[in-house]
Chains A and B, each alone.
Chain A
Amino acid sequence: MNQILSVILNAEFGYSVLRVSTPILFATLGALISDKAGVMNIALEGIMLIAALSGVVFSALSGSAGVGLFAAVVAGGLVGLFLAYCALKLRTDIILSGIAINLMASGGTVFALFLIAGDKGISSSLASKVLPKLNIPGISSIPVLGTILSGHNVLTYVAFIMVAATFIFLYRTPLGLRIRAVGENPNAAASVGIGVTKIQYLALTLSGMMAGFGGAYMSMGYVSWFSKNMTAGRGFIALAAEAMGGATPIGSMLTSLLFGFFDALSNTLQLMKIPSEFVNMIPYAATVIGLVVYASQKKRRERKTLESAGAASRAATAADAAAANKE
């Protein structure tokens, strides 16, 4: 136990929490944007995989990490658009569409990898590029804080900037207001002239782009290659993180960090004498527990609102009855 504590209290551990939180955070923000528009993007997992491969392939082809990142984000957006097309135009259940996309992504990326790199497992034969790490002047020289906050991959900083950007986008722009209106009540939104379908198309595309950033980080920052099914459920964890974060940008960030914490913990515990299988389970088990805690609290809150509403209406009826009696 002491050993575990000493690991957690280490500044290096703080660094690795931010490092492993990054892809989850991107995907969680993606889940948030689509959820705000009332559509569930379960394809995040597959989108991240496709983006991760696109990043590797296009950075290897062009010799530029920037091009790779651009390709990954575009690929993510396109898959998001495809999901929107399936769900909104073809009217396939959005969850089944997501399952189909995840399935196609897990096989399709291996298929493409084999055609391009001649290997079904890993892209090591491609000379792909890595996005740079940033040392933040000023902060990097502060003792503990510098170790935790400085020297991260550029996308880690982008992820946290995206939290603010998403907040501003959703709550401070007309378009964000429309997205929230559509998610809150599509009929009401339509009645004031908002194109519900158009907004949902947009939200799913943006959601895909956000997951695209996450995918790019996986293959061009977290590690420097693409490997089969490398996202390992992060897209699904993001769905849980978004729900648990109360569907707000700040909450999503906090829950992403929480899952990142358990992910980092499992990475460091692997060095100790705990069976690695148990350690590997930690992030997923933490997600289930978090999901249950969040859902049960939400249920209780709803019941309370319902009860107070019921009490209010009973009081109103009683007052009405009293008034009627007087007359």
Chain B
Amino acid sequence: MTRNQRLFEVVRTGLAILIALLIALVIVLTVSEDPADALYKFLLGPLDSFRHFGNVIELMIPLVFTGVAISIMFSAAQFNLGAEGGFFIGAIATAFVAIKFNLPPVIHPVVAILFGSLVGSLFCGLPAALKVRWGASELVSSLMFNYIAFFFGLFLINYLLRDVNAGAMVSYTFKPTALLPRLVPKTRISYGLIVAVLLVVAAAAFMTKTRWGYRIRLTGANARFAQYSGINTNSVVVYSQVIGGFVAGMGGSIELLGMYTRFSWQSLPGYGWDGVIVAILARNNPLYVPVAAFFLAYLRIGADIMSRYSDVPNEFVTLIQGTIIILIAASSFLAKYRHRLVFKEALESDAKGARR
């Protein structure tokens, strides 16, 4: 991709976001009694206090994890949506270690997170294994596995880890040694942020600098070609999903130990689906994931603040997200201009070649 084309992609993304925000504007104008205030809360609410901005960063952390996970999984052209369940079941596994094990500080969260990641990787590897072995569609089976993970996780909490004295259906509190310490005081931003940053760098290096990552990208771009060049595409499909699941499980674990003191989720948290949006915004490039995750987290927190202080419910943010997915993934959105750009560049390079 030339520099102009990359610039074009940035403009295209910006335009898609702009259109989605315009739709948001129309919705708020029709729905709200006081649209100006609602819009102000939505767009600038996250910046109005240190705490609100902290919320954005807190929400950004899990989105980075699922965004990277989905980026790796989709890079192999696998529509595996197991990141949702991997995130959840990884968190359950972590809760188990955090409650049942007695380990010294530092080691305790590390063991818990690694265990959660491992469970996540097994979970996301399942649909891939079924696909490679028997040809079952990874899309449908991963969706089913998400429900299975959800109910199985609730079962484990209910029968193994449930604190009967707590009133609600929550687990026992985690051992204090297992909790991730705060990174920024007065917020809930934990050391998970640092892990997220390291992960982004590692994932980017993995995808672009190692032969494993290269194989994933090649398989995703053209599986036949990859096969004919001697790559075992079946193994690529499996290990890409296993790695993606590892990251998703890690995300769930870090979210749990960084933000909570007991397991209290009563539904799938939805970060896996958000990861799809993040990955699409980031064009499956781990380096762009934090930007996309920040953007999405900002939208979410803005919508939350708006629904708290005005009459517009925060679910309207899903309409914005859906629009963004459709427009950015739409290959004919502004395609005319892209063709013109490519054509012009080709002409120019031709002219240069002719002069030589």
A residues with a Cβ closer than 8 A to B are 42, 86, 89-93, 95-97, 99-101, 103-104, 106-108, 110-111, 114-115, 120, 233, 236-237, 239-240, 243, 275, 277-278, 280-281, 284-285, 287-288, 291-292, 294-296, 298-299
Contacts and interface: CB of A to CB of B under 8 A. Distances in A.
Nearest to A83: B326
Contacts of A110: 313, 315
A239 B327 CA distance: 25
B326 A97 contact: yes
A103 B152 contact: no
B143 A277 contact: no
Contact of A299 (B134, B151, B280, B327): B134
B273 interface: yes
Contacts of B31: 115
Contact of B148 (A104, A115, A285, A299): A285
A86 B326 CA distance: 7
A97 B331 CA distance: 12
Contact of B141 (A93, A120, A291): A291
Contacts of A114: 313, 315
A295 B325 contact: no
A214 B135 CA distance: 29
A284 B137 contact: no
Contact of B140 (A96, A115, A240, A278): A240
A284 B135 contact: no
Nearest to B74: A96
Which one of A106, A111, A240 has the highest number of Cβ atoms from chain B below 10 Å of its Cβ? A111
A92 B330 CA distance: 4
Q: Which 3 A-B pairs have the closest CB atoms?
A: A107-B318, A104-B322, A277-B155
B318 A291 contact: no
Nearest to A99: B276
A89 B315 CA distance: 27
Contacts of B326: 86, 90, 92, 96-97, 100
A281 B139 contact: no
Interface of B: 31, 79, 81, 130, 133-137, 139-141, 143-145, 147-148, 151-152, 154-155, 158-159, 273, 276-277, 280, 313, 315-319, 321-323, 325-327, 329-333, 335
Nearest to A285: B148
Given A104-B318, A110-B315, A280-B151, A240 B329 contact: no
22 contacts: A90-B327, A90-B332, A92-B329, A92-B331, A96-B280, A97-B326, A103-B273, A103-B321, A104-B318, A104-B323, A120-B313, A236-B144, A237-B144, A278-B151, A280-B151, A284-B144, A284-B147, A287-B140, A292-B141, A295-B137, A296-B133, A296-B135
Interface of A is mostly: helix
B145 to A, nearest CB: 7
A104 B333 contact: no
A111 B148 contact: no
Contacts of B333: 90
Given A107-B317, A111-B315, A278-B151, A287 B144 contact: yes
Contacts of A104: 318-319, 321-323
B318 A108 contact: yes
B136 A295 contact: yes
Contact of A281 (B140, B147, B322): B147
Contact of A291 (B136, B273, B332): B136
A233 B143 contact: yes
Given A89-B332, A104-B319, 14 more contacts: A96-B276, A100-B322, A100-B323, A103-B322, A107-B316, A107-B319, A111-B318, A120-B313, A233-B147, A239-B139, A285-B148, A288-B141, A292-B134, A295-B135
B318 A103 contact: yes
Nearest to B328: A92
A281 B273 contact: no
A236 B313 contact: no
B79 A95 contact: yes
Nearest to B335: A91
Contacts of A108: 315-316, 318-319
A42 B139 contact: yes
A42 B333 CA distance: 22
A90 B158 contact: no
Contact of A236 (B140, B319, B330, B332): B140
A277 B158 contact: yes
